[in-house]
């Protein structure tokens, strides 16, 4: 790859070059221009001037946008209504023609056991591993990966590192794009840093990392996280403890495949709960059961806010008390609407805004947009925002109504270090002031906060 004197309204690159014997990591925060750089190498960018541009041929690109395209294609082909059961989607083996000769590769990512699963049955981390395998089996000579570690458990991250390291030793070019410093891999030989719409520096990894650490120490001395918008409930007006979730001998699965069984879960007001476990053990499925988005909610011995599921309760009455952030909600958010509309839709638990809103609600939504630094995006169509901007908008959507139960499934996907810390700082405030009870799914140890009183290791309930 070679870029010389590149100019775009959102990005400037004086000179950037990669060579065949190098492995690159590209780092930048959510407003650095790194997403524009990805559009360039995807050949999806226009309105730029450049003196010289050579982009990699036959590149396999695994980005959030590509994953969303695949998900929407699967939805278009969904035959659940005709089958009178949930259509699992295209089987993993169908995505990987000739996989038989690549079984060691599948085993290296723990995906051999997933061959007979449908795309819709995979976790977000498994979906990303599937796309990587698909590109490799199709013969891609360059792999370009956007935030490849998001959604992967620690074991899968280690396996991915080993595989990518071995691939670059076999002359397959690797280019990673990451938004967090902890995701910069040790095995990369070179590192480039984007900041404020320009390529700030590039070169050998160790030298660039040393410079970044020095700058980070200087930044910490002057950084203060902003408080969230004022809440509608006073912190000294705390509600009495009540049962929020009760699950006895909980189970889930599909077909003959069991995800977990024998799970007892009891959460009352203030019982902030962290759920961990390897990819595919059923963490997102458990949350879908709790939110009523999985039919197993009726088969389980489950009470939500003291009401037994299947006893005539309205799921919409239950969801009024929930704020939800999840990869599934993000994928399904395809309705037409602006950033402001999406934040306001959280008041009605709808995908899209179809009801009249009051002036005070609009003002409150704008406060949340200001808190996530997206005030300038309030009239921008949601679909035209970057993945990180969309995720921040959905976070504001969940928080605007100050729910009794805040359900967060890997909420920091695609967020840079500052936005990640900002969200976690807000959750510290929520727990301290007892504004909501938090149910949190995460693979990242740096997101395990002291206020989590309950810790569920879900894969210990895997049959």
Of 369, 374, 447, 435, the residue nearest 406 (C-alpha): 435
pLDDT at 180: 94
Asked if residue 51 lies in contact with residue 9, where contact means CB atoms within 8 angstroms, the answer is no
Walk me through the domains of the chain, giving residue ranges and CATH numbers.
2-220 (3.40.50.300), 243-461 (3.40.50.300)
Q: Kindly tell me the burial class for residue 65, based on how many C-beta atoms sit within 10 Å of its own C-beta (0-12, 13-18, 19 or more).
A: middle
Contact (CB, 8 A) for 362 and 344: yes
Closest to 202 measured CA to CA, from 211, 174, 56, 42: 211
Residue with tokens 């039919």: 295
C-alpha gyration radius of the chain? 23
3-state secondary structure 360-417: HHHHHHHHHHHHCCCHHHCCCEHHHCCHHHHHHHHHHHHHCCCCCEEEEECCCCCCCH
Alpha-carbon distance 160 to 86, whole Å? 31
Cα–chain-centroid distance for residue 219? 26
Q: Note the pLDDT of residue 216.
A: 65
Q: Which segments in the chain show pLDDT lower than 50?
A: 222, 234-237
pLDDT for 235 equals 47
The span from the CA of 222 to the CA of 267, in Å, is 39
pTM equals 0.85
Strands (E), 34-166: 49-54, 59-62, 142-146
- Which of 404, 415, 225 is CA-nearest to residue 330? 415
Q: Which of 403, 430, 296, 404 is nearest to 346 (CA)?
A: 403
């Amino acid at each position: 790859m070679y870029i010389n004197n590149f100019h775009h309204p959102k990005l400037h690159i004086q000179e950037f070059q990669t060579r065949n014997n190098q492995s690159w990591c590209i780092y930048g925060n959510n407003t650095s221009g790194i997403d524009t750089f990805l559009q360039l190498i995807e050949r999806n960018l226009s309105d730029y001037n450049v003196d010289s541009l050579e982009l990699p041929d036959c590149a396999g690109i695994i980005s959030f946008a590509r994953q969303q395209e695949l998900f929407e294609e699967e939805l278009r082909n969904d035959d659940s209504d005709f089958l009178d059961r949930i259509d699992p989607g295209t089987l993993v083996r169908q995505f990987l023609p000739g996989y038989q000769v690549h079984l060691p590769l599948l085993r290296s990512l723990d995906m051999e056991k997933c061959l007979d699963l449908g795309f819709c049955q995979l976790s977000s981390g498994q979906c990303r591993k599937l796309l990587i395998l698909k590109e490799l089996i199709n013969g891609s000579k360059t792999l370009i990966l956007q935030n490849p570690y998001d959604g992967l458990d620690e074991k899968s991250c280690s396996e991915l590192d080993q595989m990518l390291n071995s691939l670059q030793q076999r002359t397959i070019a690797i280019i990673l794009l990451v938004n967090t410093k902890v995701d910069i891999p040790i095995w990369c030989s070179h590192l480039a840093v984007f900041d404020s719409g320009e390529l700030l520096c590039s070169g050998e990894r160790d030298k660039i990392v040393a410079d970044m650490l020095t700058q980070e120490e200087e930044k910490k001395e002057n950084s203060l996280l902003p408080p969230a918008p004022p809440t509608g409930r006073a912190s000294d007006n705390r509600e009495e403890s009540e049962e929020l979730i009760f699950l006895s001998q909980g189970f889930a699965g599909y077909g003959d495949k069991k995800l977990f069984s024998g799970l007892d879960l009891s959460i009352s007001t203030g019982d902030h709960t962290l759920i961990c476990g390897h990819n595919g053990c059923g963490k997102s499925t458990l949350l879908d059961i709790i939110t009523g988005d999985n039919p197993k909610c009726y088969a389980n011995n489950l009470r939500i806010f003291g009401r037994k599921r299947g006893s005539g309760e309205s799921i919409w009455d239950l969801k009024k008390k929930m704020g939800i952030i999840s990869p599934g909600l993000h994928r399904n958010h395809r309705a037409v609407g602006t950033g402001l509309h999406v934040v306001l839709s959280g008041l009605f638990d709808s995908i899209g805004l179809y009801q009249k809103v009051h002036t005070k609600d609009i003002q409150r939504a704008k406060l949340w947009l200001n808190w996530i630094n997206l005030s300038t995006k309030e009239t921008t169509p949601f679909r035209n925002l970057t993945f990180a901007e969309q995720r921040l908008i959905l976070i504001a959507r969940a928080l605007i109504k100050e729910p009794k139960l805040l359900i967060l499934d890997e909420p920091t996907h695609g967020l840079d270090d500052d936005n990640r810390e900002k969200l976690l700082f807000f959750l510290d405030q929520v727990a301290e002031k007892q504004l909501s009870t938090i149910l949190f799914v995460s693979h990242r140890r740096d997101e395990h906060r002291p206020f989590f009183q309950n810790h569920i290791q879900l894969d210990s309930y895997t049959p």
